[in-house]
Amino acid sequence: MARKEKLPPYVSSFVDRHGKRHYRWRHAGRSAYFKAHPNSPEGQTELAAFAANTKAEPAPRYAHGTVGWVAARYYTSAAFLGGKSEATARTARLILEKFVAEVQHDLIVNFRFDHIEALLLRAATKRTDAKGRTIGGPSAAANLRGEMKPFFDYAIKLLGLQRPNPVDQAESIAVPKGGFHTWTEAEIAQYRAHHPLGTKPRLALEIFLWTALRRGDASTFGRKHLKDGMIEVTPAKTKDSTGQTIWLPAAPQLMEAIEAMPVTGTETFLVTDYGKPFTRAGLGQRMRKWCDDAGLPHCSAHGLRKAITRRAAEAGASNQELKAVGGWTTDRQVATYTAAVEQKRMAEQAITPVIAFDLANCPKR
């Protein structure tokens, strides 16, 4: 009887259906196959490499009271998850994790207002990341501040500290008013001229323009949302919308763009070149390219949400009606989108009588 081959620890062998013997190393949940015999010099080199790679990165262990220690508890708390949709919680965590990664071992008790201001100033600085993308800016700083405040509220309560929230004491980074550019009628016409009916860029514009949906909701918009000549959508709940179902008329312009498409997705109208629904980020990136292709680098998908609100306001829609279109809950949220329209309307109402008075009292030429 042949003696059993002696192999190094954690190494076994088997014969495949072609009669060829293979040697496999398994340890600590990892495995690898040898190219050479494990007892040969080459095999011993392979074995050393396998063993060197078994040291998986241990889960970080944070000291009590550090930012990392608090974050591990915060992400599963009612303070973080309560009232947030899955998408909103995911976005909030992405924002916070950049902050946590930088100061994970720092003690919460040592944070002062000037530390928060330094972090916000860094976030407000526009820069290019490893992938060549522009990141940072005033809005990024504002978003970071918005997530840091409840985080420190929770940390102070969790640790039983008797001190104010350092985020409340820190100065805010000024964010330029207006935010995303609101598309004008000329810009809408320019985009349509460049992207004709029957193309994905054109369909994307009509969806954004006639549904007032954000990127995440627009990426899931499909035939299931069309019912009896109406659009029925339930936008994801965000800080400025209720997440309740909205009904909108199905504009003929939108229906024409849908029917003009040679192919649409089975679940969503907009699909990638591989026939899959877009992700929120993916649709935003494609819309960015389509706007650039049309010579509109300053325009964006969110600017179309502002454009439909502007159009409705110019047509005389009330604040209550505008809230019904965009799913907003307060007049203040609507005012962000209609400030320019209101200024134009009020200026016209104020100056028109003055013009008439002046004309009536001017000497005849």
**CATH number of the domain bearing residue 312:** 1.10.443.10
Last residue of a domain, one of 134, 169, 204: 169
Mean pLDDT (whole number) for 124-150: 83
What dihedral angle (degrees, nearest 10) is formed by the CA atoms of 317, 319, 325, 328? Answer: 170
Question: Which has more pLDDT, 264 or 18?
Answer: 264
Question: Does 357 fall in a domain?
Answer: no
Question: Does 264 fall in a domain?
Answer: yes
Question: Which has more pLDDT, 178 or 126?
Answer: 126
pTM for this prediction: 0.58
34 token code pair: 């040898």
Residue 251 CB contacts under 8 Å (≥ 6 apart), including other chains:
206, 210
Last residue of a domain, one of 139, 169, 199: 169
Contact 155, 271 (CB under 8 A): no
69 token code pair: 């220690």
Question: Does 3 fall in a domain?
Answer: no
280 and 245 in one domain? yes
- Report the Cα–Cα distance between both ends of the chain, in Å, rounded: 127
Measured from the Cβ of residue 37, the count of other Cβ atoms closer than 10 Å reads: 16
Question: Does 321 fall in a domain?
Answer: yes
Question: Which has more pLDDT, 145 or 365?
Answer: 145
With cut-offs at 50, 70 and 90, classify the pLDDT of residue 240: low
Q: Say what the pLDDT of residue 2 is.
A: 54
Closest Cα to residue 144, out of 100, 84, 81? 100
The total of structural domains in the chain comes to: 3
Q: Say what the pLDDT of residue 177 is.
A: 60
Secondary structure class of 70 (helix, strand, coil): helix
Question: Does 359 fall in a domain?
Answer: no
342 and 218 in one domain? yes
323 and 201 in one domain? yes
Last residue of a domain, one of 111, 143, 169: 169
CA 305 to CA 310: how far, in whole Å? 9
165 and 191 in one domain? no
CA 306 to CA 337: how far, in whole Å? 6
328 and 277 in one domain? yes
DSSP single-letter state for residue 109: G
297 and 205 in one domain? yes
200 and 323 in one domain? yes
Say yes or no to pLDDT of 241 above 50.
yes
Question: Does 363 fall in a domain?
Answer: no
CA 154 to CA 149: how far, in whole Å? 9
With cut-offs at 50, 70 and 90, classify the pLDDT of residue 229: confident
224 token code pair: 């299931």
CA 73 to CA 80: how far, in whole Å? 10
Return the H-helix or E-strand segment holding 11: strand 11-15
163 and 275 in one domain? no
Question: Does 57 fall in a domain?
Answer: no
- Cα Rg for the chain, rounded, in angstroms? 29
Mean pLDDT (whole number) for 239-251: 75
200 and 84 in one domain? no
Secondary structure class of 33 (helix, strand, coil): strand
With cut-offs at 50, 70 and 90, classify the pLDDT of residue 57: very low
Question: Does 164 fall in a domain?
Answer: yes
Mean pLDDT (whole number) for 264-279: 88
Query: Whole domain around residue 146: which residue ranges?
Result: 67-169
Closest Cα to residue 129, out of 120, 140, 116? 140
112 and 40 in one domain? no
289 token code pair: 């390219």
281 and 136 in one domain? no
Mean pLDDT (whole number) for 99-118: 93
Closest Cα to residue 334, out of 347, 320, 348? 320
